Each structure stands twice: as structure tokens, then as C-alpha cells.
């Protein structure tokens, strides 16, 4: 069906009061076309679902990598601070001299 065409919509409050209908009273080609469109939409949703799972998996890996990077960054920061402290120590109090061993 063309989505730009406005059709009348009827709503039944009591389905039991509807008159029976058969295929003689409906446009079967339009019904088949709607079923084909529905089928393609369901397939598209399946593809989107698969893509979403892939994005979730990638995001999970990136978060794990981010945690690893944060740990390494913290370790580097601690080492950098230790280097700065060693550079500011006087030569006589250097822990790594032959006398201190």
C-alpha cells in the first residue's frame, strides 16, 4: 500500500458483532503486498539486531581496552613521579650508589 494514501480506518469494539468476511470481500493482491513488505521489514530488523550485537561486542572490547590503558597510564604516572623525585634528590643521598648497596 502507498503510505501517502489516507484510507478510512474502522475499529470494532466487539469483534463478535462483525459480519463474517471471506477472500471475495478483500483485495488479496494488496494483502500479499503488505505481507511481502512485512517480511522485508522483519528481515531488516534481524539485520539491525545483528549489527547492534556487533556494536555491543565492539563497545565491550573498547571498554576493556580503556581499562587497560587507564591502568598503564596510572603506572606510568607513578613511575614519572618517582623519576622526578630521584632527579631532585641530592647526589650523596642517591640510593643507587655503590655505597648504598
Q: How far apart are CA 56 and CA 1, in angstroms?
A: 36
Q: Is residue 74, in this structure, part of any structural domain at all?
A: yes
CA end-to-end span of the chain:
89
pLDDT in tens, 2-52: 677 777 777 778 878 877 777 677 777 888 888 899 999 998 999 999 999
The yes-or-no verdict on residue 58 having pLDDT over 80 is: yes
pTM score > 0.85 for this model? no
Q: How far apart are CA 44 and CA 61, in angstroms?
A: 26
Q: Is residue 77, in this structure, part of any structural domain at all?
A: yes
Geometric angle at alpha carbon 70, from 89 and 52, rounded to 5°: 170
Q: Is residue 101, in this structure, part of any structural domain at all?
A: no
- Chain centroid, CA 5 distance in Å: 35
The yes-or-no verdict on residue 98 having pLDDT over 60 is: no
- Burial of 21 per CB tally in 10 Å (0-12, 13-18, 19+): exposed
- For the chain, what is the domain count? 1
Amino acid at each position: 500500500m502507498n503510505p501517502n494514501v489516507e484510507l478510512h480506518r474502522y475499529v470494532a469494539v466487539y469483534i463478535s458483532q462483525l459480519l463474517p468476511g471471506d477472500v471475495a470481500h478483500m483485495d488479496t493482491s494488496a494483502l500479499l503486498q503488505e505481507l511481502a513488505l512485512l517480511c522485508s521489514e522483519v528481515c531488516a530488523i534481524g539485520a539491525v539486531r545483528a549489527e547492534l550485537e556487533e556494536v555491543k561486542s565492539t563497545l565491550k572490547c573498547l571498554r576493556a581496552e580503556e581499562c587497560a590503558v587507564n591502568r598503564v597510564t596510572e603506572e606510568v604516572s607513578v613511575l614519572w613521579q618517582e623519576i622526578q623525585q630521584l632527579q631532585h634528590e641530592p647526589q650523596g643521598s642517591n640510593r643507587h650508589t655503590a655505597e648504598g648497596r
